[in-house]
Amino acid sequence: MSFPQHRPRRLRQSPAVRRLVRETHLVPSQLVLPMFVREGIDEPVAIASMPGVVQHTLDTLRRAAAEAAEAGVGGVMLFGVPAVRDATGSGADDPRGILNVATEAVVAEVGDALVVQTDLCLDEFTDHGHCGVLAGDGSVDNDATLERYAAMGLAQARAGSALLGLSGMMDGQVAAVRAALDAEGFTDTLIMAYSAKYAGAFYGPFREAVDSQLKGDRRTYQLDPANAREGVKEAVMDADEGADIVMVKPAQPYLDVLADVRAAVDIPVWAYQVSGEYSMIEAAAAHGWIDRRTAIQDSLLGIRRAGADAILTYWAAEAAGWLREQL
C-alpha cells in the first residue's frame, strides 16, 4: 500500500499549530468604523436595511466613537446627514454644518486614540443626490465639482479631520484637494482616495442611511463593474496625484481588483465592506442560514488576504472585540 509522501494536514492538526503557521493576520487597528450623524434628532434613528446601525445624535456619536477607541479600532469614518440640502451642497463646507460640527466633537472625544476621518463627497448634501455640481444638461460638472471639493476639504481639515476620504470619483480630485490643503498649511492632513469605486447595487442600504435624494444612477463617474484594469489605472493615477492611501469599494465583489491594486502601488490600500455586504450577511444570519460570527470573520479575513491593509466595516468595533479575545 502506498502512503502519501506529503502530509499538509500536519499543519492543521490543532488550534495551536494552525495559529502558529497562519499566513494572514487581522488585528483591531486594521479596522475602521463608518458612522452616520444626523442633524436635528434627539435620539438615534435605526436604519431598517442595516440592522444594528443607526443615525447618531452628536451625543451618541461621541459615545460610539469612545467605544470604538476602547475596542482598539484604527479609526472612524464620519458621514453627515443634514436637515437642509441644496443644489451645490453648501452645508458641506459650512463650519457649522453637521459633518464639521460632528468632526470637532469626535476629535475632542477620541482624536488622540484613533484616526478621525471624514467622507469628502457632496451626495449627502445635495438636493439631487449626486456627488457633484450639475451642469445645465443635468450631467455632473467635473471641474466645478473640484472647486467644491477643495472648499469641503479645507472645512474638514479646519474641523480637525486627520484623513479626508475622497469618495466622489471626479477626475483630478486628489490633486485639487491636495493643492488646496497645502496652500492653507494643512500639509499633514491625509488623503485617502476612493480610487476604484464601482457602480452597482451594493450601496442600496447606504442610501437609506444618508437619506439619499438620488434619482437615476452614478454610472457616468463610478466605475463599470466589468472593468478591472480601469480600477488599477485609477489607483495609480491617484497615487501619482498625491494620495496617501487608495481604496477599493465595494470589497467582496472586487477582491481581484483589490489584489491587482495592491500589486500596482506602494502606498497603503484599503477596502470598504459596504452596506450591501453587511446587510446580506445580517439577513442570512437572521434567517439561520449561516453562522453570523463565522461569516463576518470569514468575510473580513478574505478582504485582508486579498491585499487590504485596512478595512472599513460596520462590524469594526464588534469584530475588534472578537479579535482581542483571541490574543
Instruction: Kindly tell me the sign of the dihedral angle through the C-alpha atoms of 8, 11, 12, 13.
Output: positive
Question: Under DSSP, is residue 76 helix (H, G, I), strand (E, B) or coil?
Answer: strand
Would you name the residues annotated as active-site residues? Answer: 197, 249
Q: Judge contact between 222 and 170, C-beta under 8 A.
A: no
Q: Which three cell numbers stand for residue 50?
A: 442595516
Residue with cell 470569514: 298
DSSP string, 143-164: HHHHHHHHHHHHHHHHHT-SEE
Residues 6+ apart with CB under 8 A from 325: none
> Hey, what amino acid is at 76?
V
Q: Name beta bridge partners: 316.
A: none
CB atoms under 10 Å from CB of 255, counted, come to 18
DSSP string, 178-201: HHHHHHTT-TT-EEEEEEEEB-SG
Q: How far apart are CA 161 and CA 154, in angstroms?
A: 10
Q: How far apart are CA 207 and CA 213, in angstroms?
A: 8
Q: Judge contact between 253 and 260, C-beta under 8 A.
A: no
Backbone dihedral region for residue 163 (phi beyond 0: left; psi -120 to 50: alpha; all else: beta): beta
